[in-house]
Chain A
Amino acid sequence: MKAARFVIIALLIWSLSPLAWQLYTSFCTDQALVTPFAPLEQRWTLAHYQSVLQSNPPFIRYLFNSLFAGAISTALTLLLAIPASYSLSKLGQRSALIIKCLLIGCALFPYVLLFLALLEIARYLQLGNSLIALAIPYAALSQPLAVLLLTNAFSDLPPELEDAARVEGLSVLQRFRWILLPLISPAIASTSILVFLFSWNEYPIALTWISDSNKLTLPVAMARIAGSSIHSVPYGPYAAATVIGSIPLILLVMVFQKPIVSGLTTGAVKG
């Protein structure tokens, strides 16, 4: 028991200390960063946050861009993945297995290799500089993982629940509304988080599809801060931007923590 606790604490330090370091950096003056142990009159500052928030366009703008692109791509992903997974869970074992193997193949494919082709498509269809259009490749790239996760959730449901509902006269849509969606909601929550995270962190596609500085997403905007000067790296503003960029994610996970954990640990309805 004691050993287990030690391991957990070690793991927490391992994974949280870079974040703590970033948080610390974001509140330090430039002076304090380069002379960490010297006594200084002014060690703490909010200047980095001020500079980030008051830039033009303000950093909050990128936050909303990312939230917007993330929300649209998550919604689009679920809209396609839920019906697909339901059908897949009803399919014969053999064909379902073949499709699942293909999906795993797609999920493992390094998507960076696609981005030149995607760029061509975006140029041809004039999808550049649109956050809604950005959701299309995001939803497509998230599809394999989402379908696999949700198919498992559908397969775990006892088939008798739907049989009973059919005897009661519920149509497919009514079964979704009253039975299937409520029962797989933990899986939907954890899938949404993963899709949202992907879209939140995605860099190469966002970099190439969006050039209008009003429509940048967070990773691209942060990279711009980091590379804004050739003479120095603006550690402070960069750290502040990272902290601001992480807050929505932390909030999201905290809100959905319960369904995610219950979705991971139990078969949702069995037992």
Chain B
Amino acid sequence: MTLELRQVGRNINKQWIVESLTMNVADNECLALVGPSGCGKSTTLRLIAGLDPVSAGSIHISGRDITSLTPAERSVGMVFQSYALLPHLTVFENLELGLRIRGISKRDRTSKIRQILDLVQLWNRAGNRPAELSGGQRQRVALARALIREPEVYLLDEPMSNLDAQLREDIRPELRRLVLEQRKPTIYVTHDQHEAMAMAQRIAVLHEGKIEQIDTPYNLYHNPYSLFVARFIGRPQINCLKDDSDHVRAVRPESIRFSDSGLSGKLQSREWLGNSQLLFLETQQGLIRMMAPPEQTIPEQIRLTWRAEDEILFNVETGLRLSR
């Protein structure tokens, strides 16, 4: 069972919101969609769910063309950023609505809801309205609503962006347990690259409606195809050094070292990050971010160097990577 997008595009008023998206998500795989806001990641999810019409290309689940099916016929489970729980219904009724529409008997509905609420550990809150739940609990109800359909594909649209940072970290293993153990293709939209790396086996970086690169987190970080990916993945951001040549040299902050010779610089400011420190250094080739161990002392005469293999070269015009 796989999810497959073939040259999928969405066009509004002669403008492509997303264009020629091609990707495969295997069973048991979680693919994260990341990109700056407005890059088309939510639109992609809505196209797969059938909430927006596809203007070009086709979408397949297990080889079956679902491009022209309604959302209900597609068997997708979707978790929305705002959870989209109905405020006037209890947790139980929220989960019951979809089952009732599908004509499932009262007894089966109750046993199914009981089973799913036990799974997300919320059976004791079945009679509560969403407003009486915490953010994390609401999120689990939204997840339960997707799980109860036993869909063939899971679509998660920024499922944790409404939670605070600590809660997000706590819920991540829970989310992995609940969704990834279903062994279904899962697409996870997020603007948080750490979350993407934590949840997904592969990450697709979207930029202006097109896929820049689909790859493992390791490859995105170490072998970015374009300057955009290099800049987007990794915090603090990669250093982009520009000299008179027609290429940009990009070096990760943790690859920079102090040495006796090399690029000279001046310390502008430093940030303590606990297990490291981030130094901002002014050089002739621009501002350089450098990650250093916390015990690192700053020499009087600052000279910076890095290993040649840590340097990635990009074409200035196209932003594409130059082969080494």
Q: Which residues of A contact B (CB under 8 A)?
A: 158, 160-161, 163-170, 174, 178-179, 182-183, 269
Q: Enumerate the 4 nearest inter-chain pairs by beta-carbon distance, A residue then B residue, closest first.
A: A169-B72, A168-B98, A164-B84, A160-B84
User: Does any Cβ of A come within 8 Å of B167's Cβ?
Assistant: no
Complex alpha-carbon distance, A45 and B77, angstroms:
72
Give, as a whole number of angstroms, the nearest-CB distance from B146 to chain A.
Answer: 9
Instruction: List residues of chain B with CB within 8 A of the CB of A178.
Output: 86, 97
Complex alpha-carbon distance, A170 and B86, angstroms:
13
Complex alpha-carbon distance, A174 and B49, angstroms:
19
Asked if A167 contacts B101 (CB within 8 A), the reply is: no
The winner among A161, A169, A170 for most chain B CB atoms within 10 A is: A169
Q: Known contacts being A166-B71, A169-B72, A170-B97, is A161 close to B51, with CB within 8 Å?
A: no
Residue of A nearest to B13 (CB): A92
Instruction: List residues of chain A with CB within 8 A of the CB of B189.
Output: none
Asked if A161 contacts B78 (CB within 8 A), the reply is: no
Asked if B88 contacts A160 (CB within 8 A), the reply is: no
Asked if B78 contacts A182 (CB within 8 A), the reply is: no
Complex alpha-carbon distance, A170 and B149, angstroms:
14
Give, as a whole number of angstroms, the nearest-CB distance from A228 to chain B.
Answer: 51
Complex alpha-carbon distance, A269 and B89, angstroms:
12
Asked if B78 contacts A167 (CB within 8 A), the reply is: yes
Q: Known contacts being A158-B82, A160-B81, A178-B97, is A167 close to B87, with CB within 8 Å?
A: no
Asked if B78 contacts A164 (CB within 8 A), the reply is: yes
Asked if B80 contacts A164 (CB within 8 A), the reply is: yes
> In terms of DSSP, what is the predominant structure of the interface of chain A?
helix
Give, as a whole number of angstroms, the nearest-CB distance from B215 to chain A.
Answer: 29
User: Does any Cβ of A come within 8 Å of B76's Cβ?
Assistant: yes
Instruction: List residues of chain A with CB within 8 A of the CB of B70.
Output: 166, 169
User: Does any Cβ of A come within 8 Å of B324's Cβ?
Assistant: no
User: Does any Cβ of A come within 8 Å of B102's Cβ?
Assistant: yes
B86 partner, pick from A166, A167, A174, A179, beta carbons under 8 A:
A179
Asked if A183 contacts B97 (CB within 8 A), the reply is: no
Contact mask for chain B residues 27-59; partner A; CB cutoff 8 A; 1 contact, 0 none: 000000000000000000010011100000000
- Other A-B pairs, 16, CB within 8 Å; known A161-B86, A167-B78, A168-B98: A158-B84, A160-B80, A160-B82, A161-B84, A163-B46, A163-B49, A166-B70, A167-B49, A167-B50, A167-B71, A168-B101, A169-B72, A169-B98, A178-B86, A178-B97, A183-B86
Q: How many positions in chain B have a CB within 8 Å of any CB in the partner chain?
A: 23
Complex alpha-carbon distance, A81 and B87, angstroms:
24
Give, as a whole number of angstroms, the nearest-CB distance from B14 to chain A.
Answer: 15
Asked if A269 contacts B97 (CB within 8 A), the reply is: no
Instruction: List residues of chain A with CB within 8 A of the CB of B50.
Output: 166-167
Instruction: List residues of chain A with CB within 8 A of the CB of B101.
Output: 168-170, 174
Asked if A168 contacts B72 (CB within 8 A), the reply is: yes
Contact mask for chain B residues 81-110; partner A; CB cutoff 8 A; 1 contact, 0 none: 110101110000000011001100000000
Q: Known contacts being A167-B72, A168-B101, is A182 close to B88, with CB within 8 Å?
A: yes
Asked if B87 contacts A183 (CB within 8 A), the reply is: yes
Instruction: List residues of chain A with CB within 8 A of the CB of B49.
Output: 163, 167
Instruction: List residues of chain A with CB within 8 A of the CB of B51.
Output: 163, 166-167
Asked if B102 contacts A169 (CB within 8 A), the reply is: yes
A-B pairs with beta carbons under 8 Å apart, 20 shown = A158-B82, A161-B86, A163-B49, A164-B84, A164-B145, A166-B72, A167-B49, A167-B71, A167-B72, A167-B76, A168-B72, A168-B97, A168-B149, A169-B72, A169-B98, A170-B97, A170-B101, A178-B86, A182-B86, A183-B87
Q: Known contacts being A169-B72, A169-B102, A178-B86, is A163 close to B97, with CB within 8 Å?
A: no
Complex alpha-carbon distance, A165 and B97, angstroms:
9
Asked if B71 contacts A169 (CB within 8 A), the reply is: yes
Complex alpha-carbon distance, A160 and B86, angstroms:
10
Instruction: List residues of chain A with CB within 8 A of the CB of B80.
Output: 160, 163-164
Complex alpha-carbon distance, A117 and B101, angstroms:
49
Instruction: List residues of chain B with CB within 8 A of the CB of A164.
Output: 78, 80, 84, 145
Q: Known contacts being A160-B82, A164-B80, A169-B102, is A183 close to B88, with CB within 8 Å?
A: yes
Give, as a whole number of angstroms, the nearest-CB distance from A95 to chain B.
Answer: 13
Complex alpha-carbon distance, A160 and B159, angstroms:
13
Residue of B nearest to A179 (CB): B86
Residue of A nearest to B79 (CB): A164
Asked if A163 contacts B84 (CB within 8 A), the reply is: yes
Give, as a whole number of angstroms, the nearest-CB distance from B113 to chain A.
Answer: 14
Complex alpha-carbon distance, A230 and B82, angstroms:
68
Complex alpha-carbon distance, A269 and B51, angstroms:
22
Asked if B98 contacts A269 (CB within 8 A), the reply is: no
Instruction: List residues of chain B with CB within 8 A of the CB of A170.
Output: 72, 97-98, 101
Complex alpha-carbon distance, A208 and B145, angstroms:
58
Give, as a whole number of angstroms, the nearest-CB distance from A166 to chain B.
Answer: 5
